[in-house]
Structure 1
Amino acid sequence: MSTTSAEPQLNGHNNENHDHILRPRAVKPGNPTVLRTLGEDGLLAVNGNKDASQSNGIMSGQTSGRSTPIPEDAPPSAHFISSARKQVRAEQRRRLFPTIEYASRVSHFDPNSDYRDFQGFYVLFWIALTIMAVTTMLRNIKDTGYPMRVKIWQLFTVKVWELAVADGLMVASTAVSLPMHRLFRSSTGNMMGLRWAGGGMALQSVYQAIWFAFWVNVPFHRNWTWTAQVFLTLHTIVLLMKMHSYSFYNGHLSETERRLRALDNPQTASKAPAYQYPTAGHTPDTPSAGDRAKSPEEKPDLSQLREDLAIELTSPMGSVTYPKNLTWANYIDYIFCPTLCYELEYPRTNGIVWSELGYKILAVFGVIFLLTITSEEFILPVMIESALRLETVDSFSETALILAEAISMLLFPFMVTFLLVFLVIFEYVLGAFAEITCFADRHFYSDWWNSTDWLEFSREWNIPVHNFFRRHVYSASRPHIGRPMATFITFFISAIGHEIVMACITKKIRGYGFLCQMSQLPIVMLQRTKWIKGKKVLNNVCFWCSMILGLSMMCSLYVLC
């Protein structure tokens, strides 16, 4: 039976261990988030036929298929929550808060992926890097008698225990969000004016700002090396996004629950339509409260409102309902999951594949080894020599010539460094944490190497961060300031983050990274004109040229100027 572009492909049918994995198709579908097709009479399985387990009256999945009976005299809110749990398991519904579509998927470079044709180039890439490492070590043995230089290696051991303690304390300090949210949801918090829609959101935002400022300044006060400082700064930014997503999503759910409970007494409760949080694609048209109030059929409207609110409180897979997620186990699991967007529930694998986990851990150390060799042998000497030469010249032309020479000599090393950083983060570190937590959605990046403009690159090279910005920055600001300004604000916040990282590396605030990031917007506007739009090869060449040149140029400017 032929498949359509909306149907997921189950590959690897010769391997029974991977029959359950949904993998990307060789050609991008029109909507890659569509995993199942909804028919008129219910949920259809991936092959287009109705789920056999449902037709036989048998429930599948990790639950028993039965739910606790609801007493007849229970309040309407309890009945609607029970109904919502059953309904969410049966069909996908539009949710009021923008959710991230998680599914069991493999990465592009995975041997079981439909993109496995890249494996040959992938292997060639590693062989080339191995040759580079071996020849470099042989040259060092000839020149110095030792296989490697030790300038950067020594930086890894300076105050390493202090870094570990500080990082542990930083992670632990994010857990304040859980008791704070419990306070916002409680009657005590309501009496204190600290419900989420009141003072709770402001208090949480103030705590996040103070928390971020404190931990960014810790490496400067402790006089750490740039390697330790970059690690802690990047981890600080990641945890800030995690903490923000956790607190704001649960805050939204607390207000949703409050409205649903209030509808148990419909005479005094608000009949305003449920607030539908805008998605990244479009802003749905929601009828106004006045239009709903004028409807002659009050009971169906009230039932629909209760149903919408109850569905919002239920996880996409129907196994967890707010506030059952407000536990320490759930929070710790979320901290370790390789995602920046909090959800009540994530798809999981059957268990840890220890061989895969061991491979990814070894790969992390192997890539760090190659990154160190590249920096030690091909980047640091160029920087030192160029800095010494700049001290002896006075004219602008000589300075520009030295900078141009340094930039040209760093083009290839920084291209290799960029690719290695991408691999160690998105393929190995995130993959290892996904294996540890049995996190099934390994779609951390897409084919960003085929990007034709910077917007496409920002969407596909770092999907966890893109999902966070789309959900918590772009979608949150677009209804108030419009699409162009929402895009500008998203890039502006991202540019500030990049500038903070560069300032930690070089201990200089120059703004080069900020300017380069913001300059992507006019470049995208130019690339989407009728004269350039559609010329994919040309735009991809321009993308790669600007990427390679930009990395080398920014580093040279930050270090030498």
Structure 2
Amino acid sequence: MNLPRQQQQQRPPSRPPGKFADLVFTRKFSTFDRQNPNAANSPFHGFFTLFWMGVFLFVVKIGAENWRRHGSPLGTNEIMRGMFSPGPEVVLLLAADGAMCALTGVSWVLQVLVKRRVVRWEGVGWVLQNIWQAMFIAGVIGLTMLREWPWTHTVFFVLHGLVMLMKQHSYAFYNGHLSTVYHRRLQLLAKLKQLERIAPVKAPSNTEPPVSAITTSHLVHTPSAREYEQRRRSLPHVKVPDVDKIAAAIESREPLDETQVQVFERVLKWEVDALSDELRGKSTTPARAYPNNLTLVNHYEYIVLPTVVYELEYPRSDSINWYYAAEKLVACFGIIFVMIVISQAFIYPVVMDTVRMKEEGVPLAGRFRQFPWMLSDLIFPFMMEYLLTWYLIWETILNLLAELTYFADRSFYGAWWNCVSWDQFARDWNRPVHNFLLRHVYHSSISAMRVDKHTATLITFFLSACVHELVMWCIFKKLRGYLLFLQMCQLPLVRLSRTKWLRHRATLGNMIFWLGIFTGPSILCSLYLIL
């Protein structure tokens, strides 16, 4: 259902959520988007304007100085030359990226086979999916190594490959779950048809199970995915569910009395209706419900949407504002230009100094003596690059993609700049990936591995840290574990933020958070360069 562009109220879910309905997509704008009325009316809107005016004047000053010294606004321009020469590598990068996106169709093919029961998802289906995902990401990383791309190409291709990996995983595991529900529903419908053909006996039947052993209290509730899931979780000690006992009784062809037939029919119909609700998910039309969603168009439509969590249906806008899209496109290239200018002026010289020291054979102790000076030289430019990178991806690129794909939920981030703890930062900095980790790592760890919430949190943080360290290895070709260690240090810091000394000291907590943001990127880069 398309919502008017002016409508800002959150739309409540149309039905109670089931197992994979832990997230609700609604019509929203991102915080800094000019379409968001709260952005223009914010008491801090002037500071936002001041920031971009300051960035503009800062870049003009750098460009003027470079023009005076080198005759070019970009100075010696090594970064730009590294990005676009030799020319064919850029073309190859784009071609490889297109092929990578096309290959995600393998996950769709597997789901079609699962739906047709050629393979069973609960058997070898999920194993094949994980094998494919391992091959996919290995191929992505292997290509960057084979071509020896510069770090700019490598970062783009590896990060986009990780996005495609998450998209495939979410698509496969949600549809795999629905395939199990779908075939379970088909089995119960077949039992209902068998039951309709049974002529009940008048005398009380001794066929198991007796009506007294069947739980019917749930039948007073409207059949839904949520009721089904709650009922399933409320009976963990039951080895054979009532529905399976009823199915076995029907299959045995033993005589059933009239009361048994009536109760069995009510129970089976309730289960069928609850499973039907699960198959509908958040879809508002039968064409979007499982298994009608398993089309090539639906798969690739999801691939281009700015989300890594698969749903049967998302809130959509009703038109494309082409002026807005053009504005975001210009902003993308403008921010990239600013980042190149800052890197060329302040980061590249420091990097070249460390390379020179290594080439001249300066011992490790001598290089470490330069560490404080290197850190002080990098801390502010890296902070600037950190902020610009975030704004480039989560405010400009994702909003541009959302506008072009009619994607209405633009809540790509929260007010992370007000964070007082690192767990709050993990939730608000990158909401698309946070939603993926919440559903497919955190909740899946609890349900599949039977671990508690603390262990699931540890698993989630560790997996995220490993992926970040993988990206650093792709960039520097060094496996050091610095980023992994610093990210895992966030867990004790989270516990510290909940102590009585910091729990109600929001300003102090925010200062500690910003200290980590200020120093973290520059410390990491300095360590990788020196060692």
Aligned to 1:114: 38
Aligned to 1:286: 234
TM-score normalized by the length of structure 2: 0.84
Q: Out of 102-111 and 248-257, give the one that drifted further.
A: 102-111
**For residues 297-350 of structure 1, what are the alpha-carbon distances to aligned partners after superposition, in whole Å with 9 as ceiling and x for unaligned?**
544433332222111111414222111111111111101100000111111101
Deviation at 1:277, TM superposition (A): 9.4
Deviation at 1:184, TM superposition (A): 1.5
Aligned to 2:80: 153
1:148-187 aligned at under 5 Å gives the runs 148-149=74-75, 150-158=77-85, 159-187=89-117
Deviation at 1:454, TM superposition (A): 0.8
Aligned to 1:54: none
Q: Is the 8 A contact 2:306 2:398 kept in 1?
A: yes
Aligned to 2:125: 200
Matched, 1:258 2:173: no
**For residues 180-206 of structure 1, what are the alpha-carbon distances to aligned partners after superposition, in whole Å with 9 as ceiling and x for unaligned?**
11111214x1xxxx2111111111111
Deviation at 1:115, TM superposition (A): 4.0
Identity of aligned pairs, percent? 37
- The one of 446, 454, 458 equivalent to 1:488 is 458
Q: Is the 8 A contact 1:386 1:406 kept in 2?
A: no
**Are the structure 2 counterparts of residues 366 and 417 from structure 1 closer, same or farther at C-alpha, using a change threshold of 3 Å?**
same
State the distance in 2 between where 1:395 and 1:368 align: 34
- The one of 318, 323, 333 equivalent to 1:350 is 318
**Are the structure 2 counterparts of residues 365 and 277 from structure 1 closer, same or farther at C-alpha, using a change threshold of 3 Å?**
farther
**For residues 358-380 of structure 1, what are the alpha-carbon distances to aligned partners after superposition, in whole Å with 9 as ceiling and x for unaligned?**
00011100010011011110111
- The one of 152, 155, 158 equivalent to 1:230 is 155
Matched, 1:559 2:525: no
Aligned to 1:445: 413
Q: Which sections of structure 2, spanning at least 5 residues, go unmatched?
A: 196-208, 247-259
Deviation at 1:403, TM superposition (A): 0.6
**Are the structure 2 counterparts of residues 283 and 160 from structure 1 closer, same or farther at C-alpha, using a change threshold of 3 Å?**
farther
Q: Is the 8 A contact 2:29 2:410 kept in 1?
A: yes
Matched, 1:507 2:477: yes
Aligned to 2:6: 19
Aligned to 1:311: 277
Aligned to 2:336: 368
Matched, 1:125 2:51: yes
* Aligned residue identity for 1:20: Q
**Secondary structure class of the residue paired with 2:190:** coil
Structure 1 or 2, whichever has the larger Rg, is 2
Deviation at 1:464, TM superposition (A): 0.2
**For residues 469-514 of structure 1, what are the alpha-carbon distances to aligned partners after superposition, in whole Å with 9 as ceiling and x for unaligned?**
0000000001312211111111111011111111122121111111
Deviation at 1:386, TM superposition (A): 4.1
State the distance in 2 between where 1:493 and 1:106 align: 30
1:346-495 aligned at under 5 Å gives the runs 346-389=314-357, 391=360, 393-394=362-363, 396=365, 398-479=366-447, 480-495=450-465
State the distance in 2 between where 1:509 and 1:384 align: 21
- The one of 524, 528, 552 equivalent to 2:494 is 524
* Aligned residue identity for 2:504: G
**Are the structure 2 counterparts of residues 432 and 283 from structure 1 closer, same or farther at C-alpha, using a change threshold of 3 Å?**
farther
**Are the structure 2 counterparts of residues 277 and 381 from structure 1 closer, same or farther at C-alpha, using a change threshold of 3 Å?**
farther
Q: Out of 315-324 and 251-260, give the one that drifted further.
A: 315-324
**Are the structure 2 counterparts of residues 434 and 261 from structure 1 closer, same or farther at C-alpha, using a change threshold of 3 Å?**
same
Aligned to 1:27: none
Q: Which protein has the bigger helix share?
A: 2
**Are the structure 2 counterparts of residues 179 and 277 from structure 1 closer, same or farther at C-alpha, using a change threshold of 3 Å?**
farther
- The one of 10, 14, 18 equivalent to 1:95 is 18
Aligned to 2:253: none
**For residues 59-99 of structure 1, what are the alpha-carbon distances to aligned partners after superposition, in whole Å with 9 as ceiling and x for unaligned?**
xxxxxxxxxxxxxxxxxxxxxxxxxxxxx8xx421213234
Q: Is the 8 A contact 1:337 1:437 kept in 2?
A: yes
**Secondary structure class of the residue paired with 1:342:** coil
Q: Is the 8 A contact 2:167 2:309 kept in 1?
A: yes
* Aligned residue identity for 1:154: R
**For residues 194-250 of structure 1, what are the alpha-carbon distances to aligned partners after superposition, in whole Å with 9 as ceiling and x for unaligned?**
211111111111111111111111111111111111110001100000010011111
Corresponding residue pairs, total: 473
Aligned to 1:71: none
Q: Out of 226-235 and 178-187, give the one that drifted further.
A: 178-187
Deviation at 1:383, TM superposition (A): 2.2
State the distance in 2 between where 1:246 and 1:173 align: 14
Q: Is the 8 A contact 1:109 1:119 kept in 2?
A: no
Q: Which sections of structure 1, spanning at least 5 residues, go unmatched?
A: 1-15, 23-33, 37-87
Deviation at 1:110, TM superposition (A): 2.1
* Aligned residue identity for 1:354: W
State the distance in 2 between where 1:291 and 1:94 align: 25
Q: Is the 8 A contact 1:347 1:441 kept in 2?
A: yes
* Aligned residue identity for 2:25: Y
Higher relative contact order (CA 8 A, sep 6+): 2
**Are the structure 2 counterparts of residues 152 and 283 from structure 1 closer, same or farther at C-alpha, using a change threshold of 3 Å?**
farther
State the distance in 1 between where 2:11 and 2:317 align: 17
Deviation at 1:265, TM superposition (A): 2.8
State the distance in 2 between where 1:370 and 1:17 align: 35
Q: Is the 8 A contact 1:292 1:301 kept in 2?
A: no
Aligned to 1:221: 146
**Are the structure 2 counterparts of residues 196 and 323 from structure 1 closer, same or farther at C-alpha, using a change threshold of 3 Å?**
same
TM-score normalized by the length of structure 1: 0.79
